[in-house]
Amino acid sequence: MQRLTQSLNYASTIQTHIPVSLKRSEASQSHTQQPLEVPVDLIDLAHRLADAAAEVTTKYFRSPLVVESKSDASPVTEADRQAEEAMRGVLREHAPTHAIFGEEGGMHAGEPEQDGSDSGYLWVLDPIDGTKSFITGKPVFGTLIALLRDGVPVLGVLDQPITKERWVGAAGQQTTLNGEPVRTRACKDISGAYLYATTPHMFSGATETAFNRVRDNVRIPLYGCDCYAYGLLAAGFCDLVVEADMKPYDFLALVPIVEGAGGVMTDWKGQHLRWAVTPSLAYAVGASLPGEVIAAGDLQLHKVALQLLDWSEPDIADEGGIDVAYQTS
């Protein structure tokens, strides 16, 4: 495959230098990302990345594993590391000018373009989102693959290799599950909504108080689905996902999937989820400000949930628009 250096077609100018999850926009305006087009070969490349990771994760699933603890006490296994390295290897071969940020391996700046410029592309990889589920034999983990163009998530893959389900969302296209189009379902009344969060323990202090206001108004709150919950939302099987303490690799791939299925995905203030960083700098894998995200299958439901969250905590944009938590040099 030739080097993948095609540019995306922008319908309007996208601002750069925007930190994780924090581009200012009015909640009353469109909740979807800017209209873009994703080249077919980039979508094909994303499939190759998912296939490469699946070869590793399926081999290790429900087999004896040594589980280590990272600096933030989260678990990691050899399967995580090998799956990410397999994806990095594919990208180094087929898209060497693209930058890569992975949960396990951190940031890698791509090679310069022929004119010396930056490609503007950044792949954000989470080889096993839901490692706790993976090591306990529960098939609701997933491989998350995001492609960002100048900070905007334009392509996302959620791959569950055990159940063999793969969601693909690309800007300007309808989300698919195993190649078939899927859509979210209507749910305008929050009292009828089914809500997911990975665990109630991801909330504390102000985030717990805010989350509980939503939880207490839905029909049924559920836990324990990791990234798989967003796939269920995109396919029309649940209505809300509300989570906190998220890192960029935990949610960026899910934005095009949810939006391409007709849903809405923002931070708790209703702002678009973006992450424009400078790959030439060094970045710390374990350092990040907490990220609060909400996904809804119905626009009216999203508005109601935002009102209940009533989130007003400071974020990176309030600190001058610099993602100081990731910048280490």
Answer for the pair 264, 240: CB distance below 8 angstroms, yes or no: no
Report the C-alpha gap between 89 and 314 in whole angstroms.
Answer: 38
98 with 171, same domain? yes
141 with 215, same domain? no
Report the C-alpha gap between 128 and 103 in whole angstroms.
Answer: 9
CA angle 81, 144, 133 (to 5 degrees): 70
Find the distance separating the first CA and the last CA of the chain, reported in whole Å. Answer: 34
pLDDT tens-digit profile of 5-27? 333 332 222 222 223 333 323 33
Q: Residue 73: inside a domain, yes or no?
A: yes
Q: pTM value?
A: 0.83
What's the pLDDT at 71?
A: 65
Give the end of a domain, one of 154, 181, 208: 181
What's the pLDDT at 317?
A: 41
Give the end of a domain, one of 160, 181, 202: 181
Answer for the pair 142, 159: CB distance below 8 angstroms, yes or no: yes
211 with 124, same domain? no
Q: Residue 33: inside a domain, yes or no?
A: no
Q: Residue 282: inside a domain, yes or no?
A: yes
**Distant-in-sequence, close-in-space partners of 79: CB < 8 Å, separation ≥ 6:** 56, 57, 59, 60, 61, 65, 127, 128, 134
What's the pLDDT at 45?
A: 98
What's the pLDDT at 78?
A: 87
pLDDT tens-digit profile of 182-222? 999 999 999 999 999 999 999 999 999 999 999 999 999 99
Q: Residue 27: inside a domain, yes or no?
A: no
302 with 195, same domain? yes
122 with 139, same domain? yes
148 with 211, same domain? no
Residues in the chain with pLDDT values less than 50: 1-35, 283-290, 316-329
174 with 194, same domain? no
213 sits in the region (left: phi over 0; alpha: psi -120 to 50; else beta) called alpha
Q: Residue 4: inside a domain, yes or no?
A: no
207 with 299, same domain? yes
Q: Residue 325: inside a domain, yes or no?
A: no
Q: Token pair of 63, please? A: 């087999």
Q: How far is CA 319 from the centre of its chain?
A: 23
233 with 270, same domain? yes
Give the end of a domain, one of 130, 157, 181: 181
The CATH number given to whatever domain includes residue 222 is: 3.40.190.80
287 with 213, same domain? yes
101 with 156, same domain? yes
Torsion angle in degrees (nearest 10) through CA of 299, 302, 304, 305 = 170
What's the pLDDT at 69?
A: 77
Q: Residue 289: inside a domain, yes or no?
A: yes
Residue 140's nearest CA partner among 148, 150, 130 is 130
195 with 147, same domain? no
**How many folded domains does the chain comprise?**
2
Report the C-alpha gap between 229 and 251 in whole angstroms.
Answer: 12
Range of the domain at 202: 190-319
Q: Residue 3: inside a domain, yes or no?
A: no
- The pairing of beta strand 142-149 with beta strand 121-129: antiparallel
**Distant-in-sequence, close-in-space partners of 98: CB < 8 Å, separation ≥ 6:** 4, 91, 110, 119, 121, 122, 123
SS3 content of the chain, % helix, strand, coil (to 5): 30, 20, 50
- Residue 319: burial class (beta carbons within 10 Å; 0-12, 13-18, 19+): middle
Which one-letter DSSP state was computed for residue 14? P
Which one-letter DSSP state was computed for residue 62? T
Task: Kindly state the greatest CA–CA separation across the chain.
Answer: 56
Per-residue CA distances from 176 to 160, 171, 204 (Å) = 14, 12, 35
